Amino acid sequence: MKLTTRIRYLTMPVLPVAALLLSGCGGGGGGDDLGVADGGIRGTGASVGPVSGFGSVFVNGIRFETDGNVVSDDGITSESQLDKGMILRVDGEWRNDGEGTAERVEYDDTFRGEIVIVAETLDPDDSTIRESVTFTVYGQTVVADKQTVFRGLSLQTLDDGDFVRVSGWRLPDPDGRYRASYVGSLEASPNDVEIEGRIDENSVDISQNRFSINGFPVGYDNTTTFGGGLTESDLRDPGLVVEVEGRIGFVGGDTGLIASNIEQDETRRYQRGDDDDIEFAGPVATAFDDADSTFTINGLTVVVPDDDVFEDGLAGADLQPGLLIQVEGSFLADGRVEAAEIEIRDANAEVEGRINQASIDFSASTFLVGGVRVQVTPLTIITDDNDDQRIGLADLNGAFEVEVEGIERSTDGGEVFLEATKVEREEEDDLDNEYEVTGRLGAIDDTTITVLGVRIRAVEGETGFEDTQRDQLKADFDSGERPLVEVDYAEQPANSGNFIADEVELEEEDSDSDG
């Protein structure tokens, strides 16, 4: 079963957007010449989110001009050392044209250390392909999936003993799991590790200078620095979540982390700075409360003044724990944030296959894969599965296959397309015309089904139907449901627009919060 950090978002409805999106966004060339974001608040403050491009850096769809310097205690001092997917805090100003100027760029690892694989979710059609991996870093649990950006390794090659840096978000579950936005390979260094998490109840022993996080021992001494205003006595605060850096050694006779520095966890990224405006991405922590029109995320309480702040068909009821969203707003006097815009950042559909090279439109930042129109935006992360170089839209112009994770959208005119959250480029093994698409059933008649705007021939006797029957799919659709399906199909002949399904599979959905 797929991890619910992805499945849940596959239950989201099709989200309509203005038709201008298809012509108004820039692409991402070899130099990451992305366009700029449309609309949104503009001012001075903080923007916190994953890097989606460079030149200088793109965060939350805004291109920030920087001086090239990065503030970090994790060995990263310049923009050239950053990778896509790393979560940055940018303090500065952003303008109506979607560009901004950074006064300060800050990066901090969420985890750094050796991993142990504890679970994996495999493609039901190919047990050699992972769809997600759950691993631990010194007892702290991290989930990585197809939206995670990897550097120096991949979702498929991640293995026990790998030494990595992780940039991610804390998930709203009792086990204190984290969702990885970025996982990068590092040279093993047990003298330079980092974890964060909630201090275990009743684990603090100040007389022995130790405590534990998810059962992993942490020790400290008079050389340990308590940062960000945190003090030793604060360790006793119920539910305190901390970040600890140091080295692996023995704590009370057990393997543990000997701390050189202890401070507040990653929620400090989202704290109010010198200005009121803030924009950030993260997973919803507590669901939207109709009574007071608030929800929590990244340690902040967000106030929703009215439904106009929801973008592209999103609604308060959709704000369930774990959903990855982006919020733009301003701090109120009481420390809450009043939202000006809220939009989804989590994929709810995907397509995989060879790019139709003739379809690439660099001015509109679109291309076709198996008949699916893919829209690249300033939020899209474009990577290569084997190459560590920085690539963009222009670098997709070749004999490549891609895996595209994205959000199903429709224009005012009814045209369905896939707004890409991540595009992973792969070298094309052969020149076949086989594709795979996952999305909501958009239409069905006697001979065809439509998914992500692509009409595909699917007839009993010619097409295999897994976990369902064709008649049942049609009955469900006619009753107003939109089943989630995965379709393996081919274009015959090539470039003809004639698509024929080999297999249609009903995808499992799960509202559980556990992976």
What was the pLDDT predicted at 148? 96
Single out the residue of 439, 320, 310 nearest to residue 372, CA to CA. 439
Partnered with residue 134 across adjacent β-strands are 119, 143
> pLDDT band for position 82 (50/70/90)?
very high
Q: Comparing 423 with 515, which gets the higher pLDDT?
A: 423
Lowest-pLDDT choice from 50-54, 287-291, 463-467: 463-467
* pLDDT of residue 4 exceeding 50: no
* pLDDT of residue 501 exceeding 70: yes
What was the pLDDT predicted at 312? 83
* pLDDT of residue 514 exceeding 80: no
DSSP H/E element including 474? helix 470-478
112-128 confidence digits (pLDDT tens): 999 999 999 998 878 88
Lowest-pLDDT choice from 265-279, 392-406, 417-431: 417-431
33-67 confidence digits (pLDDT tens): 444 444 444 678 999 999 999 988 999 999 999 99
What was the pLDDT predicted at 41? 46
144-201 confidence digits (pLDDT tens): 999 999 999 999 999 999 999 999 999 998 889 999 999 999 999 999 999 999 999 9
> pLDDT band for position 24 (50/70/90)?
very low
* pLDDT of residue 79 exceeding 90: yes
CA distance 498 to 485: 20
* pLDDT of residue 418 exceeding 60: yes
* pLDDT of residue 493 exceeding 70: yes
Average of per-residue pLDDT values in the chain: 89
> pLDDT band for position 294 (50/70/90)?
very high
Q: In the predicted model, what is the mean pLDDT of residues 135-143?
A: 97
CA distance 322 to 312: 19
Kindly state the DSSP code that residue 146 receives in the 8-state scheme.
T
* pLDDT of residue 347 exceeding 80: yes
CA distance 350 to 65: 32
* pTM exceeds 0.75: yes
Burial class (CB in 10 A: 0-12, 13-18, 19+), 245: buried
Q: Which domains does the chain have, with CATH numbers?
A: 111-185 (2.40.50), 193-267 (2.40.50.140), 349-506 (no CATH)
Q: Comparing 313 with 170, which gets the higher pLDDT?
A: 170
Question: Percent of the chain scored above 70 by pLDDT?
Answer: 89
Give Rg (Cα) of the chain. 23
Q: In the predicted model, what is the mean pLDDT of residues 81-101?
A: 92
Cα angle: 342, vertex 509, 470; to 5 degrees: 120
Distances (CA, A) of 236 to 15, 139, 204, 256: 45, 21, 6, 19
What was the pLDDT predicted at 205? 97
Q: In the predicted model, what is the mean pLDDT of residues 256-280?
A: 94
